[in-house]
Structure 1
Amino acid sequence: MKKIICLFLLTWLGISLGCSSSSTSASMNSMSAYPSVSVSMKAGDPSVNDSTDKITVNFSEQIDPASVSGEVKLYRIKTGGATEEVLCTTSVDNNAPMQLVISRQDGAKLVEGEQYKIVVSGRIKSRTGISMASDFTGYFATNYSFNLGSEGIAALNGERSQIICISDIHLGADLAYSEFDRNGTGNGAALADFLNKVRQSPNVKELVIAGDLLDEWFVPSDVDTYQGKTQADFVARIAAAHKNVIDAFKNIINEKKIKVTYVPGNHDLTITSQAVESILPGISQARDVKGLGTYSPADRQELAFEHGHRYNYFCAPDPISNRSITNTDSIMPPGYFFTRVATTSVVERIKGEAVTKINPPDIKLSSTDASQVMLYYYYLSFKGILAGLPIKEGFNDKIIKTNIDGFTANYALSDIFPYQTQAGGPIDVNLYKGAQDNWDRRQEMNLVPVKIPVKDAITQAAYSTDLDDKSETQYFKNPASTKRIVVFGHSHVPLIKASVNNKSQKTIYANSGTWIDHNPGLSTMHFVVITPKKSTDSTVQFVNLYSYSKNGTITQLPNPQAITDLD
């Protein structure tokens, strides 16, 4: 969106792409100008910049210094859109006569966490008498210089208002195969250090864990997850394996200065609230139906935090398909079984074992029946995933030990994959029989606001962009939703993007990434920071994305966004 705004701005100012500024101004007989800070045309969508002590306005012609006085104004925008002029000095650099430099009279930087409006008058002239076609007005916001030091962020004036969101930590019960802090040499110490700094920060008000804190899924297929014991025992083993991290969370909770809220993810969707409470006493939990939850702070109802698996065919709770097999209120979705096989593939390759690609028997679709077609798409989707998961075991080997969520048998890949008993005949499946037909009912039970067509749900689920798009369909374009900022986890792909809702108001979506040791092709140890507008006469709140490093360095990731109440 910012690229579109910039192109529009350049066109509006008389700058033509592919031409020099002088030839453009000559052909249009007017000057063009653009500031050194990124600006937006809309007060409700200010571009985000770091704070600066000067703004340079670049003109397409050499400026007549005599025409400058009083013709450039800088304003701070206050609550309700009122403006307050920032007293500035303007000067033309003799060594760069096409540049006009604007500085605060006191020489200080612009105040962080504020929104500004810059107005450059069309009365400014070039040395040859050319002026701009009209006034130029742009809007921008100055971002905070983020830190987690005990001294806090100076521009927040001691306010405890920030919300930090992390997700997809994936604490495992056995460090031999855990995705997080494997063998005790991964990201465990860094996360504990990060959490200790969060606890000491005077500006953090809330810490949100947007799912996949604990991991029941990333377990090799030949391992009995609970080791013949209970879920409570399993969770206790996780807490013991990651004692430094759990202790760091507990210290934050026990101090009671920062509210800590947990939202379920798919890898911990069957872990009960009692089990979570047993290792993190006093933690707040946001749950709606079993295995799902969405959190909106009581005083920030325009925000929504959830994991995002609610909208995924393979990861959303399935309270329908296997009840006749488990004879319990099981909700485990099909993605669980394939994650068990994926873990086996990872572990066996790490050990250097001889693994081979698994090739499920071919299926030939000969029916136009909608249910059969969807089951065929289901087959193709899982076949594509399995292609990258070689294992030493065979397709029909009963390698997946369960004893979880009502499942007690051992299962083979052939139990999960659709099959035909004769070429071109009916397609059937052992587990998740009829899931494609029950998808709409499953969505209703999982409180999905805007129904997702089953074909899209099956064929698009593997793409991280599909999850990102759900922020639009389920929230921003949903007339029943009032959310302006939405944060998901789940995909492990950190990002921030802006859009508009059906009321033409700016909206912001962020994904909080992951803290697993190795995030293929991407960085890891991410966190989102939401800083609301200041309590004193301010209009703008910020959404930033950062990464943490093992040496404690915090790095800002691209595309910070700001949102105002001026739409």
Structure 2
Amino acid sequence: MKNNRFPLHFIGLIVIGLLFITSCKKNDIILDPFNNDTNIRNLIVVISDIHLGANISYAEIDENRNSLNIMLEKIRTSRNVKELVIAGDLLDEWFVPATTDTYDGKDQSDFVQQIAATNSETIGKFNQIIQEGKILVTYVPGNHDLAISAENVNLILPGINQARDAAGLGTYSPVGYPEIAIEHGHRYNIIVSPDPISNRDIAPGSILPVGYFFTRLAVQHVMQGCTQNTDDIPLVTPNTAGDLSQELLYGYWQNWAWWLNMFPIENHFNEKMIVTNIDGFTETFSVNDFLPYQDIQGGEIKVNYYNGIQDTWEERCTDNNVDVNISAADAFKYAASPTGTDTMAVIQYFSNPNSTKRIVIFGHTHVSKIKTYNNYNGQKSIYANSGTWIDENHNGSTMDFILVSPQSDNTDSQTLVTLYNFANELITEISKDSLKL
């Protein structure tokens, strides 16, 4: 089963064929970037998308945990690392088969403690760094852990710093570096950003977006090893007499149809088999509960759950503290590929005259990279993506991280942003760039 896993890090349309690090310029093995010839503790390490699961039989990370533990020990013993930032998807509440009761009849605190027990050495390494107090460890929520409460994160990582600015979201600027922004990147994605609106009547207080259900079904596919859906996907055709809302809903159906064809399941689409009991949801759902449909072809397109997802996006952006407005049409378009998330760094930060950020670091896409842009003032700015640590990443490499080396007081010194890889437990420099803050 392990060799058949598909990395379900990014919910939406996945662009097949994206290759790892088009900006790669170097491939030099670095012995130890966490220590230099000074005693100054100022380095900032950013990792993301670790995806620790409660059940190792279907968790996305298993084999890579040992390498992660070794790297965490290197960070812990460093004399120069000042901060370790976890940019989301540390804990995974989404990557669970559809028919499985995620909490097994218990609650989230028990589930989180089960993650800690399953990954005891890794959680222990994080806790050792936190408790020693030499390195500030900060957690920023991702989409796979957006519904996990701050209290339950603290339950297994007592004393960890948490950066939160809305439910299931956060942006962090390291101490003394307001020009740097670190967030997971899901805030701007209509499929996976927190959705407190669509189902507030049936699941009050829930923020689970539809991407959660996309993921549960895809994991069901992985566990079944199915090659063809048992049922045909009910056809929906454009409503030519409809408005923009109907046009967007047709595109939403296309997303669902693409997903179900990519990850076919043995279950019938009318079978009540998606077990919830999580974040306000109690019902067991069928695929048809979420799939847009028509009573007659060419007629009105309807949907039962997440009804109005295309119409309430603006309100959702307000709730989620999105600075620059994104139309629903653009939101669906940008949700379609990892590069759409990268583009948000430009739209929300570098092209935003209200932003002072010059270095932006996301996770989420599992496609690590460093790219440079000019901001609205013509100043050089750097976007970096910290990649992932899952065992199998079909979008590129795994075991990546970002290291920020702040500039000194020397007039010619610059802040350096470097992308590294830890494959085979060797730290390899992949790409880097620098600027003067």
Q: Does the pair score TM above 0.5?
A: yes
1:534 and 1:144, CA in 2 relative to 1: closer, same or farther beyond 3 A?
Answer: farther
Displacement after TM superposition at 1:145 (Å): 5.7
Alignment of 1:84-233 (within 5 A): 147-148=32-33, 152-154=35-37, 157-181=38-62, 186-233=63-110
Q: Does 1:562 align with 2:434?
A: yes
| Corresponding residue number in structure 1 for 2:134 | 257
Distance 1:543 1:459 in 2: 29
Q: Does 1:331 align with 2:207?
A: yes
Contact 2:389 2:399 in 1 (8 A): yes
Q: What's the secondary structure of 1:482's corresponding residue?
A: coil
| Corresponding residue number in structure 2 for 1:391 | 265
Distance 1:376 1:522 in 2: 31
Q: Does 1:480 align with 2:344?
A: no
| Corresponding residue number in structure 1 for 2:117 | 240
- 1:129-169 alpha-carbon deviations (Å, 9 max, x no partner): xxxxxxxxxxxxxx9966156xx212xx1211110000000
Q: Does 1:547 align with 2:432?
A: no
| Corresponding residue number in structure 2 for 1:520 | 394
Contact 1:358 1:390 in 2 (8 A): no
* Counterpart selection for 1:424 from 298, 306, 323: 298
Distance 1:466 1:295 in 2: 21
Displacement after TM superposition at 1:372 (Å): 1.1
Displacement after TM superposition at 1:382 (Å): 2.0
Displacement after TM superposition at 1:536 (Å): 4.9
Larger-Rg structure: 1
Q: Does 1:341 align with 2:217?
A: yes
* Counterpart selection for 1:381 from 228, 240, 255: 255
Distance 2:325 2:232 in 1: 33
Alignment of 1:335-484 (within 5 A): 335-349=211-225, 355-356=228-229, 359-366=232-239, 367-484=241-358
Distance 1:537 1:503 in 2: 21
Q: Which moved more, 1:377-386 or 1:237-246?
A: 377-386
1:459 and 1:159, CA in 2 relative to 1: closer, same or farther beyond 3 A?
Answer: same
Equivalent AA in structure 2 for residue 561 of structure 1: D
Normalised TM-score (structure 2): 0.91
Equivalent AA in structure 2 for residue 311 of structure 1: Y
Distance 1:465 1:358 in 2: 33
Q: What's the secondary structure of 1:324's corresponding residue?
A: coil
| Corresponding residue number in structure 1 for 2:16 | none
Q: What's the secondary structure of 1:400's corresponding residue?
A: coil
Q: What's the secondary structure of 2:202's corresponding residue?
A: helix
| Corresponding residue number in structure 2 for 1:321 | 198
- Relative contact order higher in (CA < 8 Å, ≥ 6 apart): 2
Displacement after TM superposition at 1:537 (Å): 5.0
Distance 1:49 1:223 in 2: 44
Displacement after TM superposition at 1:555 (Å): 1.1
Displacement after TM superposition at 1:535 (Å): 4.4
- 1:270-325 alpha-carbon deviations (Å, 9 max, x no partner): 00000000000010000011100000123000000000000000001111110111
Distance 1:272 1:315 in 2: 17
Q: What's the secondary structure of 1:411's corresponding residue?
A: coil
- 1:213-248 alpha-carbon deviations (Å, 9 max, x no partner): 000100000100011111000000000000010000
Equivalent AA in structure 2 for residue 195 of structure 1: L
Contact 1:296 1:303 in 2 (8 A): yes
Q: What's the secondary structure of 1:377's corresponding residue?
A: helix
1:427 and 1:221, CA in 2 relative to 1: closer, same or farther beyond 3 A?
Answer: same
Distance 1:162 1:358 in 2: 54
Displacement after TM superposition at 1:359 (Å): 3.7
- 1:471-511 alpha-carbon deviations (Å, 9 max, x no partner): 00000000000000000000000000001001000000000
| Corresponding residue number in structure 1 for 2:186 | 309
- 1:503-534 alpha-carbon deviations (Å, 9 max, x no partner): 00000000000000100141101100000012
Equivalent AA in structure 1 for residue 238 of structure 2: L
1:537 and 1:196, CA in 2 relative to 1: closer, same or farther beyond 3 A?
Answer: same
Distance 2:48 2:175 in 1: 21
Distance 1:49 1:412 in 2: 48
1:537 and 1:278, CA in 2 relative to 1: closer, same or farther beyond 3 A?
Answer: same
Q: Which moved more, 1:204-213 or 1:356-365?
A: 356-365
Q: What's the secondary structure of 1:508's corresponding residue?
A: strand
Distance 1:168 1:180 in 2: 10
5+ residue gaps, structure 2: 1-23
Contact 1:378 1:459 in 2 (8 A): no
Distance 1:538 1:359 in 2: 64
5+ residue gaps, structure 1: 1-47, 51-142
| Corresponding residue number in structure 2 for 1:531 | 405
1:213 and 1:555, CA in 2 relative to 1: closer, same or farther beyond 3 A?
Answer: same
Moved over 6 A (4+): none
Displacement after TM superposition at 1:424 (Å): 2.0
Contact 2:30 2:428 in 1 (8 A): no
| Corresponding residue number in structure 1 for 2:18 | none
Equivalent AA in structure 2 for residue 197 of structure 1: K
- 1:47-102 alpha-carbon deviations (Å, 9 max, x no partner): x999xxxxxxxxxxxxxxxxxxxxxxxxxxxxxxxxxxxxxxxxxxxxxxxxxxxx
Greater strand share, structure number: 1
| Corresponding residue number in structure 1 for 2:6 | none
Distance 1:538 1:158 in 2: 21
Distance 1:267 1:532 in 2: 30
Contact 1:348 1:355 in 2 (8 A): no
Displacement after TM superposition at 1:346 (Å): 1.2
Equivalent AA in structure 1 for residue 359 of structure 2: I
| Corresponding residue number in structure 2 for 1:289 | 166
What is the number of equivalent residue pairs in this alignment?
412
